[in-house]
Amino acid sequence: MARRKKETEQNHKKVNTDGIMGLVGSTTEQPISETLETNYMPYAMSVIVSRAIPEIDGFKPSHRKLLYTMYKMGLLTGGRTKSANIVGQTMRLNPHGDAAIYETMVRLARGNETLLHPFVDSKGNFGKVYSRDMAYAAARYTEAKLDPICGEIFKDIDCDTVDMVDNYDATMKEPALLPTTFPNVLVSANQGIAVGMASNICSFNLKEVCDTAIALMKNPGADILETLPGPDFSTGGELLFDENAAREVYATGRGSFKLRAKWRFVQDKNLIEITQIPYTTATEVIMDKVAELIKAGKIKEISDMRDETDLGGLKLTIDLKRGVDPEKLMAKLFRMTSLQDSFPCNFNILIAGMPRVMGVGEILQEWTAWRTDCVKRRLFFQIGKKEERLHLLKGLERILLDIDKAIAIIRETELESEVVPNLMIGFGIDEIQANYVAEIKLRNINKEYILKQTQAAGQLEKEIAALRETLNSPKKLQNLIIKELQAVSDKFGQERKTEIVYDYQESAAESEEETVPDYPVTVFVSKEGYLKKITQQSLRMSGEQKFKEGDSLSFSRETTNRAEFLAFTDKFQCYKSRLSDFDDGKASLLGDYLPQKLGFEPGENLVALVLCGDYKGFILFFYENGKAAKVPLSAYETKTNRKKLTGAYSDKSPLVKAIALDADEQVALYSTDGRAAVFSTAQLLPKTTRNTQGVAVLSLRAKASLKDAVLLSESGIGNVSRYRVKSIPSAGAILKDEDAPDKQQSFDV
């Protein structure tokens, strides 16, 4: 490879016999900003505008193209057809390939249960939204048509309600938006990841959304929470109502809703049946996590768990051991698995081609304005059609005065092309009217027919006047939209699937201590990172502690089984664990290897181990460069179950020692050039950040470094006054042989 690279470089520099540089693969330099602007930005904008973010009608382009194709195929009123036929027809609008189109159809299908109100009436296996592993059947096996609710999606689409644009190869037209008669953008769940932004919209109950839209039209200051208490998901479950969280989402479009599974206890069989799960998870995810917890010994109340989902719907069954309290077990499962989860909201929607994050109220205002425009366009279209008809009838009215004259003109005209001009001259009508008169069938050229037609002109004038009055009256336009919303709500509204729980004891469940037995133990940690937890009884009966060859004891400490500890590594990370996660050991065993047990990264080694206690007090970090940092232990107390903290301490110099203290004490410092210093930790001010660099405590000579730091009571120093310093940093004093420690420790607590 090196020789080939050298030859290539020589070819680049070679000059031919004509004196012309013979360049092989020459390149042109381009500034990175120009590359981003010309190459990357068009792609990013295309993904945002034409693929990932939904618009005010609630659809992405892929959804719109599929549904419009099915509409043009006559699948709104006709029978089902093979999904493969639909996919093939959709490729005239969507060139992204059949797999992507069919996947879009699957999500919109009734069988998949992704949407509260599916748009595709499906037949066959379309998978399930609550299953990660259940694959949907191929397009050649399944059938589909449009669901009846699509009548509201395409209502009046042929009345110029929306713009029609060219498809990708300009061979046909497609709608830029679909004229939905209800706020589908809030009714259908939608998720999309674009470039540099994303969208995640939860679904709301159709009836509640329509009621909210009506309430806001009547009173812009209406309280949304009164008509829209929370989202409604197709998978059901329970919504843990939090008024502050709901108001934040409704106002800003960002936030989250808490969901949990629905379950029941079957007492005679001593089992729990889970029948509904949060929208954000899957049955396999829950099963895998429960199995993992059982294997780790964190859940001991379950004897078996299985998936009994069938044609009747979802069901996860948990067999309980004798005497288990189902309420306490479910509280633990809610806390430790995705049976309780959060739906993160990010209401990012394209408005006039620009992405905007909006609250529910603002979305409904935008939808109302857009829907008003659609209704106005429909009224314009209807007025135009009626005026065209009225214009023709006005021409017919003119010939009613003398039908014989009209017949005579037509009969006496020799050339066909002159019939229309002669009628125009004879009756003073325009070309359109004359064409209409000329096309009347012979049997209809009688007074009765013409009178009947011309009498309809008066009714048309009244209808046109009424349409114009509605068009020019914002109040009547609003009432028309409200009437359509009420009609949709009455026809397609359904009861909530997600039950709202207002009174729940989540905080108590979260803070409840796991049922882990607590008893005295002694912890032994070796220099190479092996940990042994030995009970008092076993310790009294055991002999000498066994260690790996070349390894030795670092420290030992009496504590309890529920105690937590922090393991600091040379990669500036901290791993948090409990002693209860380790099996009780014996003196004759090596113990658990911490890097493997805690999941250290490859090449990561243990530097210090600290018992946390009740997270009162502080940790002292001592670094090779002679600096020390005093960090409160509370900085490492996490409210969540995180087991790993990055940036646990400063990365400016290698860590030598970490010591945890409840109160200030005297500490002895040793340097590699044979000096020692004793100072009080009260001279160090606590720092608020974990990765603080600290302050210098030991002034080091060239090539010297801090070697160790131990508590004065454990140092073995006799003449303390020789090494005590009044201020820091200090160079310390030459360490005498009688003050040298008998044993240097690598770890402390």
Enumerate the active-site residues. Answer: 141
User: At 238, which helix (H) or strand (E)?
Assistant: strand 238-240
Element containing residue 250 per DSSP (H, E): helix 243-252
Tokens linked to 316? 């996860």
Residue 136's nearest CA partner among 165, 162, 111, 158 is 111
Q: In 401-441, which ranges are continuous DSSP H helix? A: 403-412, 419-427, 431-438
Two structure tokens written together for 3: 């020789």
For 341-350, letters b (16+ CB in 10 Å) and e give bebebbbbbb
Residue for token pair 């009756």: 427
Residue of 610, 617, 624 whose CA lies nearest to 747: 610
Contact present, 178 and 61 (Cβ < 8 Å): no
CA distances to 570, 572, 599, 607, 693 from 649, in Å: 10, 6, 19, 12, 8
Handedness of CA 209, 211, 212, 216 (dihedral sign): positive
* Calpha distance 366→372 (Å, rounded): 10
Decide: 359 and 248 in contact? Cβ < 8 Å: no
Helix (H, G, I), strand (E, B) or coil at 523: strand
Tokens 């937590």 identify what position? 564
Whose CA is closest to 187, among 146, 156, 248, 228? 228
DSSP code for 159: G
Buried b / exposed e over 416-430, threshold 16 CB at 10 Å, is eeebbebbbebbebe
- Return the ∠ at Cα 737 (arms to 735 and 742), rounded to 5°: 100
The contacts of residue 655 (CB under 8 Å, 6+ apart) are 568, 570, 607, 608, 621, 622, 623, 649
Cα 286 from chain centre:
18
Euclidean distance between CA atoms 365 and 220, whole angstroms: 9
